[in-house]
Chain A
């Protein structure tokens, strides 16, 4: 747990730096870079972490997502990234002793059809990785501020 505050600080720092101009968006490369920064040299292994998002989304503004990790109770954090929103971070979660399980359901925004990646960090530093492809349908009528 002692490594946690610095990791959160790094993420907060990354978030504040990631103020991209309006035309710019995250790309698969930006997401890879954000993941690499978190990984700090570790190679994530596929498995254990699960992401539940509907494959076809009505509207990208409110997308329910649940992340959880299977296997032994050794998970200290989950981080979620995206590939096509204006910036690559979605959320970071550090778990404490009162958590019943390493899982959380929330609602996220997805700006486009894209891949969402979740990384789970075990106590021994191992990173586990999973990804899902999500198709986002855009609403038909264009609205002003009415």
Chain B
């Protein structure tokens, strides 16, 4: 269920930038919401998303409960050389998901 949907071009010209959109299924339970019988549902969120390209950091994002459910991000990556675009999500209750796709550059 945690399989992310990530879009990126298969090939980019060297030195150009490309857009990545990433969507992952996660309830991002805030910890402020009452469940049945009025008891608070425990916080359960994605806490961190790290994106690397060809081994270099693109960004390291810290998420809070203020990020909407099914977190979505769109951003641009600079392609200086070919390599793997890697995204890693980690969160509460041992949540972990990753996605990796090779981008050809030239």
Please report A residues at the B interface, Cβ cutoff 8 Å.
Answer: 4, 8, 11-12, 15, 19, 22, 61-63, 66, 82, 85-87, 89-101, 103-110, 145
Q: Do A98 and B56 form a contact, CB below 8 Å, given A87-B65, A104-B73? A: yes
Determine the main DSSP class of B at the interface with A: strand
Q: Which residues of B contact A (CB under 8 A)?
A: 17-18, 30-32, 34-36, 40, 43, 47, 52-54, 56-69, 71-78, 80
| Pair B59/A96 contact, Cβ less than 8 Å | yes
- The reply to whether A96 and B57 form a contact with Cβ atoms under 8 Å apart is yes
Q: How far is the CA of A142 from the CA of B36 in the complex (A)?
A: 15
Give the Cβ gap from A21 to chain B, nearest Cβ, in Å. Answer: 9
The minimal Cβ–Cβ distance linking B28 to chain A, given in whole angstroms, is 8
Q: Please tell me if the beta carbons of A93 and B60 are within 8 angstroms of each other in the complex.
A: yes
Find the A residue at minimum CB distance from B60. A94
B58 pairs with A96, CB closer than 8 A: yes
Report the Cα distance A101→B72, complex, angstroms.
18
Cα A96 to Cα B58 in complex, Å, equals: 5
Q: Shortest distance in angstroms between B25's beta carbon and chain A's nearest beta carbon?
A: 14
CB-CB < 8 A to A98: which residues of B? 52-54, 56-58, 77-78, 80
Among A11, A22, A62, A104, contact of B74 (Cβ-Cβ < 8 Å): A104
**With A86-B65, A91-B61, A145-B36 in contact, do A106 and B72 touch (Cβ < 8 Å)?**
yes
- Nearest residue in B to A20 (C-beta to C-beta)? B32
When the two chains form their complex, are residues A106 and B57 in contact, meaning their CB atoms are under 8 A apart? no
Which B residue's beta carbon lies closest to that of A144?
B36
